[in-house]
Each structure stands twice: as structure tokens, then as C-alpha cells.
Amino acid sequence: MYAQMVKSEATNEDPAKLAAFQARIDAGEKIEPKEWMPEGYRKTLIRQIGQHAHSEIVGQLPEGNWITRAPTLERKAILLAKVQDEAGHGLYLYCAAETLGVSRDELTEALLSGKMKYSSIFNYPTLNWADIGAVGWLVDGAAIMNQVPLQRTSFGPYSRAMIRICKEESFHQRQGYDIMMKMAKGTPEQKAMAQDALNRFWYPSLMMFGPSDKDSVHSAQSMAWKIKINTNDELRQKFVDQTVPQAEYLGLTIPDPDLRWNEEKGGYDFSEPDWSEFFEVIKGNGPCNAERMEARQKAWDDGAWFREGLMAHARKRSAAKVAAE
């Protein structure tokens, strides 16, 4: 439906302007906020950057759940820093979206009313400490695989936000892998916990890249505009190829009996995730959707006094400025 809306709007736009815009994209130029852009380009960016920002913010919840129960002081400090980084990523991304003419309040309202999505992965629970390792290793690993190419995305503010975010994500992935190494090389019980976490997070991590290319409604247009640089399936394949040797090093087994190296394609053949589960999760019916939205709604309500205080302070300052003039 959204893709149709983009198309019909695009037809009302000046073909010469559209062609000149596409030529700039094809030449690898960055598009900056005050420059002319097709309405569909602007809306697609707001949707993608907004969803990305919401994912960073909601993504704090499954890991935040373990800050108070981290096994050592060092692990607690590292996890705390990582979760704070995610908040920062959300803020850079909301700022990038704001340059397109949408406010952070509007984006938050769209999240809370269910009009905007956030990544499916954050609707799965983190049941124990090994899950924090699996999230860092697999979820941040998948996030980096998707975000490194986005550093070259055509919209300037998004691309620049991605450069900083990717540096931090790489530390996040390493901290997750480090937890997995400790657990997988630990006692038999710890190794079993690590395997169980891999079993539960493997397919949800593969789903992070979005539906298969044949079902991806936005990919073709987003790639023509260089909002996306790769297809969902290309990135999923690269993620599997990168992760399998990492699992082997840990002595863990990827929960896919059909996983095997395909010499001809130079990559692994692997089983697709259960796409009906994915579509249910993004419709709001995943294991933790209700809990995540309640937490975000509560945070928004609890922050009302602070937002109102800031506005009152701004009004007083501007009134004092006017009085002094």
C-alpha cells in the first residue's frame, strides 16, 4: 500500500526534476536536507530512519533487563555502556529524521500508536545471561552487516550518523562474542546455555534483514534511490557466511540441519526462517510486543513533567528576552 502511495505521488512531480535528482543519485552525490527531493524519497527515509531510531531505543529493553544481574562488575559496566550507546544511536537517528521535516514527538507518537514499526528482533525475550552474549554476537552482528553499507546511503545526515554508529556497533558485537567465548569454553552447563541461546536467536537474527527479496516491497525503489545499498537476501547470505565459522570456533552448532557449504556459490546454503512467524511478530503478535510497547509508553508518560518543564523554561527565557529588548 505504501509503495502504491509513493508511486502515485511521484507521478505529480516534475519529470525533469525527478530525472535530475536520479542523475545526482547515480553520480554518487549525497542529498542534503534543504535540497529538492521527491516526496517518496523523503517519506521512505522518514519510514526507514524512524524505524531504525525506534529499534535502537526499544533495543535497549532486552539488554537493560540484565544490567542489574550481570555476573561481574566489569560485565555490568560494559553492558551499561553498550545500552547507553544504543540510546545515543536512537538520538542521532531521530535528529537525522528531523532534518526531513518530522519531529521526534511525531515519530514517538507513531511508534506508540502502532503506526511505525521497530525491528522484529526486540520482540524476543532475553531469558538468561547467555542471551546477552547471543544478542551482542548475533543481533549486533546482523545490525553491522546491514549498517556498514548504509554508511554510503544517499541521504547525507543518515550516512554520517551511520559512520559513528558502526564504530560503536563493532565494539558491541565483540563484547557479545566475548561473553559467548567465556560461556562456550566454560562448564558443560555454561556451554549448554550458550548453545540454547544460539538456538533461540539464530532464526530471529536472520529475520532482521527483512523478508526475502521476492516479498520485499520497498527494496527496488529504495535501491534505485541508494537509500538501501543491498537487498535483504544479499545481506542475510553475508551474515550466515560470516557467522558460521564464528560458531565453529565457539564449538557451537547452528540450529539448521540443512546448513552446508556450497562450493559453486562460494557461500552456505541454509534454511529460511519461518516467515509466517516474522509477519506475526511485525503485526504485533510476537512474544514481547505488548511488554515493549508498555515500557515505551510508560517512559513517555513518566517524562511528561520534564518535557513540560523544558518548554516552560524556554517560554520564560524568550519572554525575558523580549522584555529586555
Residues within the interface to ligand BYC (CB under 6 A): 2, 47-48, 51-52, 55-56, 59, 86, 117, 119-120, 139-140, 143, 146, 207-211, 216-219, 222, 228, 232, 282
Question: Grid coordinates representing 249?
Answer: 570456533
Which residues are registered as beta bridge partners of 260? 269
Which one, of 113, 105, 107, lies nearest residue 45 by Cα? 107
Min dist CB 140 to ligand BYC, Å, is: 5
Q: For residue 33, what are the CA distances in angstroms to 151, 156, 248?
A: 17, 8, 45
Nearer to ligand BYC, 201 or 270 (CB): 201
Min dist CB 33 to ligand BYC, Å, is: 19
* Cβ atoms of residues 258 and 43 within 8 Å: no
Spatial distance between the Cα atoms of 141 and 118, rounded to a whole number of angstroms: 17
CB within 8 Å of 309: residues ≥ 6 apart: none
Nearer to ligand BYC, 29 or 234 (CB): 234
Min dist CB 258 to ligand BYC, Å, is: 22
Min dist CB 219 to ligand BYC, Å, is: 5
Helices and strands in the chain, H and E counts: 15, 2
Which residues are registered as beta bridge partners of 261? 268
Min dist CB 178 to ligand BYC, Å, is: 16
Nearer to ligand BYC, 218 or 292 (CB): 218
Nearer to ligand BYC, 195 or 232 (CB): 232
Nearer to ligand BYC, 79 or 208 (CB): 208
Q: Which residue is nearest to ligand BYC (CB)?
A: 59
Which residues are registered as beta bridge partners of 16? none
